[in-house]
Amino acid sequence: MLKVQGSDHLFWRAMGYVPARIAVWIYVPLNAADVDHLDNCSPADLLEGLIFDSHRERYVTVGVAEDNRLFFEREWLLPGGHGRPQLRKELLRFLLEALMLARDQDLPLSRREIVDRASQAVHELAISGS
């Protein structure tokens, strides 16, 4: 958890490293109740209620990094009430669509190559279901 003068966020590596260089991160803004939950729960339950099986939808930022360097991020309305498998499927669907839209932009070659690698990794994850 990162605390910055009145603005708390949970940073969670949702998937990574796939392949060995690509990681998917979720950045969750926290309110006072969320911080209290994190301060008082067991480590195994940190993500329950905040990300998995949340009682409400919430906007989060999904980021993709290569070699620990963030190169892509998008806002996502994290759906409430989804368990791990269902949320993972929704996250991969959202991320693949967002990366495909980015690929259609007029990107510099180096940026296009990294987005292509990330798109391929996310696509493989979505197909494998793992």
> Residue 94's pLDDT is what?
95
Residues 6+ apart with CB under 8 A from 8: 1, 2, 29, 30, 34, 35
- The model's pLDDT over 9-22, given as tens digits with 9 standing for 90+, comes to 888 888 867 777 88
- Spans of all domains in the chain: 2-128
Q: How far apart are CA 92 and CA 123, in angstroms?
A: 8
- The model's pLDDT over 26-66, given as tens digits with 9 standing for 90+, comes to 999 888 888 888 888 888 887 888 888 888 899 999 999 99
- 4/76: higher pLDDT: 76
Q: What does the angle CA 49 – CA 36 – CA 86 come to, to the nearest 5 degrees?
A: 10
Q: How far apart are CA 9 and CA 2, in angstroms?
A: 5
